């Protein structure tokens, strides 16, 4: 089976452990077979996309409940929420690798690498959650990340603009704040969570950088101005408002330009 069709098959899997295993095997077994020569999408391929377990129960972002890290239950809910983000991130990376025909070879290989790293993140967080006496699905989760994938499924420029370099970039801002709270808790499980978040933050800088690079590549290909077109896409698809504080150092490492960082700083 063509690797991009294997990505679709992994995307459709509903069991998290099976999805992780299929995603990691797909990346580990990538050889020299060209990924960009022929289209792989056909009508009806969206059936079963994305594959998700029945739980967690998906609710609105306003209804996920409090996740204070200062109680054991709150810390578990917090880890679960990040676990849920990483599960969705596996799906979005697989979807990017499968959905968009006609891109260069590196596009597909990079997104399959991202899917592999998101699967690693999910595994680390889920193992930690189980050590805390819970499993993925024990708490509610919201659908913000995947809903933006749905909105941008027919526009690769919008997908690159609004998923990796908008929603995932918010993780660069949020992670240090979460880690600061966990360090104040000062329990072994909180310190273990901080160590996992260090790994995730390091990798997510690279994932956002991939989104930035392909967004700019696409804008150049299509004769679009990256700054002004981003504002058009942001409004068109009703992306969440960006809120300070921003992790400007991580965003710079992820390829945001001085002009973009200055605009964030000025609000």
SS3 labels along 203-228: HHHHHHHHHHHHHHHHHHHHCCCHHH
- What is the reported pLDDT for 62? 63
Tokens 């098959």 sit at which residue?
A: 9
Q: How many CA atoms lie within 13 A of 163 on its CB side?
A: 30
CA–CA distance, 51 with 16 (Å, rounded to integer): 9
Per-residue pLDDT tens digits for 146-177? 899 999 999 999 999 999 999 999 999 999 99
**pLDDT (0 to 100) of residue 67:** 77
What pLDDT does 119 receive? 98
Q: Count how many Cα atoms sit within 13 Å of the Cα of residue 222 in the half-sphere of its side chain.
A: 15
- pLDDT one-digit tens code per residue, 107-124: 999 999 999 999 999 999
Q: Which domains does the chain possess?
A: 3-41+49-265 (1.20.1260)
| pLDDT tops 80 at residue 29 | yes
CB 125 within 8 A of CB 75: no
What pLDDT shows up at residue 145?
Answer: 84
Angle, helices 72-99 vs 3-12, to 10°: value is: 140
Please tell me the distance from the alpha carbon of residue 117 to that of residue 207, in angstroms, as a whole number.
9
User: What is this structure's pTM?
Assistant: 0.96
Q: Which helix (H) or strand (E) holds 9?
A: helix 3-12
The distance from CA 43 to its chain's CA centroid, rounded to whole angstroms, is 26
pLDDT for the residue numbered 63: 60
DSSP 3-state of 165: helix
CA distance 62 to 93: 26
Which ranges of 40-154 does DSSP label H, i.e. alpha helix?
Answer: 72-99, 105-131, 144-151
pLDDT at 65 over 70: no
CA 228 to chain centre: 24
CA-CA-CA-CA torsion sign (88, 92, 95, 99)? positive
How would residue 43 be classed by pLDDT, with cut points 50, 70 and 90? low
Cα–Cα distance measured from residue 112 to residue 28, given in angstroms and rounded to the nearest whole number:
10
Q: What is the mean pLDDT of residues 181-192?
A: 96
Query: What is the rounded average pLDDT for all residues in the chain?
Result: 94
Work out the average pLDDT over 2-10: 95
Please report which helix (H) or strand (E) contains residue 162, including its range: helix 156-162
């Amino acid at each position: 089976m063509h690797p991009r069709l294997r990505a679709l098959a992994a995307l459709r899997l509903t069991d998290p452990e099976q999805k992780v295993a299929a995603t990691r095997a797909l990346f580990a077994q990538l050889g020299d077979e060209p990924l960009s020569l022929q289209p792989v999408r056909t009508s009806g391929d969206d059936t079963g996309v994305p594959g998700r377990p029945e739980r967690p129960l998906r609710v609105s972002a306003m209804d996920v409940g409090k996740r204070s890290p200062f109680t054991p239950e709150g810390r578990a809910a917090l880890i679960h929420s990040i676990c849920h983000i990483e599960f969705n991130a596996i799906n979005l990376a697989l979807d990017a690798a499968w959905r968009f025909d006609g891109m260069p070879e590196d596009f597909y290989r990079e997104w399959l690498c991202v899917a592999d790293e998101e699967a690693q993140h999910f595994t680390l967080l889920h193992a930690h959650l189980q050590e805390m006496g819970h499993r993925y699905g024990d708490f509610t989760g919201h659908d913000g990340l995947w809903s933006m994938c749905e909105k941008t499924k027919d526009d690769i420029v919008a997908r690159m603009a609004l998923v990796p370099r908008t929603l995932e970039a918010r993780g660069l801002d949020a992670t240090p704040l979460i880690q600061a709270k966990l360090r104040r808790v000062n329990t072994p499980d909180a310190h273990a969570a901080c160590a996992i978040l260090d790994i995730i933050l390091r990798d997510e800088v690279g994932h956002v950088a991939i989104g930035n690079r392909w967004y700019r590549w696409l804008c150049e290909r299509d004769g679009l101005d990256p700054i002004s077109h981003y504002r058009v896409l942001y409004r068109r698809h009703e992306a969440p408002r960006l809120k300070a504080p921003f992790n400007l150092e991580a965003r710079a490492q992820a390829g945001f330009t001085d002009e973009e960082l200055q605009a964030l700083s000025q609000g």
